[in-house]
Structure 1
Amino acid sequence: MNITNKTILVTGGGSGIGYATAKFLVKKGNKVIISGRNPEKLKKAALALGIDYIVCDVTDADAVKSLVTKLETAYCDLSILINNAGIGFVYKLGEGANAVEKARQEFETNYFAPVRLIENLLPLLKKQPEAAIVNISSNVAFHPLVVLPTYSDAKTALHSHSVALRLTLSTDTNIKVFEVMPSLINTEATKDMGGEQHGLPPAVAAADIYNGLNEDRYEIFVGEAGQQYADYLADPKAAIAKFNQGLY
């Protein structure tokens, strides 16, 4: 897929992987719109990149409808959606963990939000001669991390949805569905996970996303995720134990 002169929406584009990806795509000659729920952060990011932004909490159904209306009106040539917005809680399952409430928040942002936005944007994407949906999941989508238990659940659900959506849309549309599975990336959201010490720069993920789209690699692995996936396919039990070594 040729990722040049495309109009692209990046959710959660005010920082981290979303910001780095927006920056990379702009340099490659694309028109990028970023969205997010923090107006100040979003405005600052958009001004730095010289692009447009739309404030939207993707967990709010009415806000998503408003976002889609704005896109249909002002960006009717939108052809790529990058579902990047996400949250995660670092904790362990057990008595007093409050796992249900943490899971509810994680699923609202990491799973239900992209599913809703995709469904609402399908009519617009279907109008384009070439289009793509890009879901940012994680290396925990294929095996869990015990200190990110319900985050792992949500990303696994997004992985499954991406596969089903890819197969479904391939039958009668020109919409391609990509899934990006990064290993640890150094962002504000990963400070509690050791991102500053052990994470890759967001720019690495941005470059891998761009290259993966250009090469039509529907599953895009970033950092160690590719080897982790290969290890999992070879020996799931051993791979999961290695992935969680020292954490349980």
Structure 2
Amino acid sequence: MKITKKTVLVTGGGSGIGYAIAQLLIQKGNKVIISGRNPAKLEKAAKEIGADYIVSDVTDADSVASLVKNLETDYSDLSVLINNAGVGFVYKLGEGANAVEKARQEFDTNYFAPVRLIELLLPLLKKQAEAAIVNITSNVAFHPLVVLPTYSDAKTALHSHSVALRLTLSSDTNIKIFEVMPSLINTDATKDMGGEQHGLPPEVAAQDIYKGINEDRNEIFVGEASQQYADYFADPKAAIAKFNQGLY
């Protein structure tokens, strides 16, 4: 799918991968709307890269309904949705971990939010001659990281949903489903994970995402994720042990 002269929504577009892919898509001749919860952050980002913005909390049903209504009214040619907004907690499972509350927040943002937004935007996307949904998951979508246990759960769920959605929509729509699985990226959200020391620049991720979509690759790997994926399917037990070496 060639992404040029398209209208694109990027959730969580005020920073990190969302900001980088929004900026690149604008440079490639697309109209981009970024969304997020922080008005000041969004306005600043939008001015910097030349995007439109809509303040919206993807975990709030009423806020999302308002976002969708706004898009239907003012951006009726929307043809690409990039589900990028995410949250993750660095911790280990065990007594006193408060895993349920952490998991609830992670699933609300990383799984239920994109599932809701996709369903609500399907009628609009189906009107376009060509459309795409891009779900940003993670390398932990195919094997868990013990210091991101419930984040891994949520991204695994979104991976499964992406596969089912791709198969479902392929029979009677022109909507393509892309899944992006990055390894560690240097963003504000990954500081506690060593992102500043070991993560790839978000601009690298944006370039890989753009190239993958243009090449119609359903699954787009960024950084080390491609090799990790190959290692996992060659020997799952060994790959998981290597991935979590020194963490448990």
Moved over 2 A (4+): none
Residue in 2 that maps onto 1:220 = 220
User: Which residue is equivalent to 2:53?
Assistant: 53
The 3-state SS of whatever aligns with 1:76 is coil
Q: CA deviation at 1:77?
A: 0.3
Q: Does 1:93 align with 2:93?
A: yes
Partner of 1:184: 184
1:50 is displaced (CA, Å) by 1.4
Report the Cα offset of residue 15 of structure 1: 0.1
Distance in 2, Cα, partners of 1:95 & 1:135: 33
CA shift digits 1:137-196 (9 cap, x unpaired): 000000000000000000000000000000000000000000000000000000000000
Match of 1:147 in 2: 147
User: What TM-score comes out, normalization by structure 2 length?
Assistant: 1.00
SS of the equivalent of 1:125 reads helix
Inter-partner Cα distance in structure 2 for 1:39 and 1:246: 40
Q: Which amino acid counterpart does residue 232 of structure 1 have in structure 2?
A: Y
Which secondary structure does the structure 1 equivalent of 2:211 belong to?
helix
In the other structure, the counterpart of 2:13 is 13
Q: Which runs of 5+ in 2 are unaligned?
A: none
CA distance in 1, matches of 2:51, 2:87: 24
Match of 1:83 in 2: 83
In the aligned structure 2, how far is the partner of 1:72 from the partner of 1:191? 36
Residue 51 of structure 1: CA displacement? Answer: 1.5
* SS of alignment partner, residue 160 of structure 1: helix
Structure 1 unaligned spans of 5+: none
Corresponding residue for residue 27 of structure 2:
27
Give distance in 1, aligned partners of 2:38 and 2:104. 21
TM-score scaled to structure 1, two decimals?
1.00
- AA at the equivalent of 2:204: V
Query: In structure 2, what is the equivalent of residue 246 of structure 1?
Result: 246
Q: Match of 1:88, SS? A: coil
Separation (CA, whole Å) in 2 of partners of 1:166 and 1:62: 27
| Whole-angstrom distance in 1 between the partners of 2:185 and 2:2 | 26
Query: What is the one-letter code of the residue matched to 2:57?
Result: D
Partner amino acid, structure 2, of 1:160: S
Query: What SS class does the counterpart of residue 80 from structure 2 fall into?
Result: strand
Aligned length: 248
